[in-house]
């Protein structure tokens, strides 16, 4: 069984292939044109990109990624600035040989893993279903344009 996936085909076709002049070929033609409707695969993808459903998926993505990235960057900068400007604070022992700098450094790793988990959960709950529906709609539209 072969699954015709336009997302895969659009990305995979032409990559690393040489054209007749020795240069790399572009990713391929925009796609077959349906003479009855005059739409190529490229036209369909542009139509989907402009759709409200696609824009909503992008908005959901940005609503999570932008604040999360800014918060993580701020946390990282606080750590670096504290290490530079307050070495006494960072050297203060917490438990035995473990000091504030070590705890904060390990907190950076912990924050990375927590943020990755939060991103995966957000994607699964807020974007994956809508993105998959868009993908299948686009695939159906592309199949229709190729006939």
- Compute the distance between CA of residue 74 and CA of residue 120 in angstroms, rounded to an integer: 21
- pTM of the entire structure? 0.62
Query: Token pair for residue 55?
Result: 């824009």
pLDDT digits (tens, 9 = 90+) for 3-47: 555 555 444 444 444 445 554 444 444 444 444 355 677 888 888
Question: Tens digit of pLDDT for each residue in 63-91?
Answer: 999 999 999 999 999 999 999 999 999 99
Position 4 scores a pLDDT of: 54
What is the C-alpha separation between 63 and 3, in angstroms, rounded?
33
């Amino acid at each position: 069984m072969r699954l015709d996936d336009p997302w895969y085909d659009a990305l995979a076709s032409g990559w690393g292939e040489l054209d007749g002049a020795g240069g790399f070929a572009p990713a391929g033609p925009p796609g077959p044109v349906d003479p009855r409707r005059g739409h190529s695969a490229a036209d369909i993808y542009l139509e989907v990109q402009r759709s409200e459903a696609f824009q909503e998926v992008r908005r959901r993505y940005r609503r999570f990624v932008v604040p999360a990235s800014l918060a993580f960057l701020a946390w990282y900068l606080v750590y670096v600035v504290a290490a530079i400007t307050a070495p006494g604070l960072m050297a203060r022992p917490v438990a035995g040989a473990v000091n504030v700098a070590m705890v904060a450094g390990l907190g950076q790793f912990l924050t990375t893993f927590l943020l990755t988990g939060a991103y995966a959960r957000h994607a699964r709950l807020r974007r994956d279903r809508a993105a998959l529906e868009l993908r299948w709609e686009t695939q159906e539209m592309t199949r229709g344009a190729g006939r």
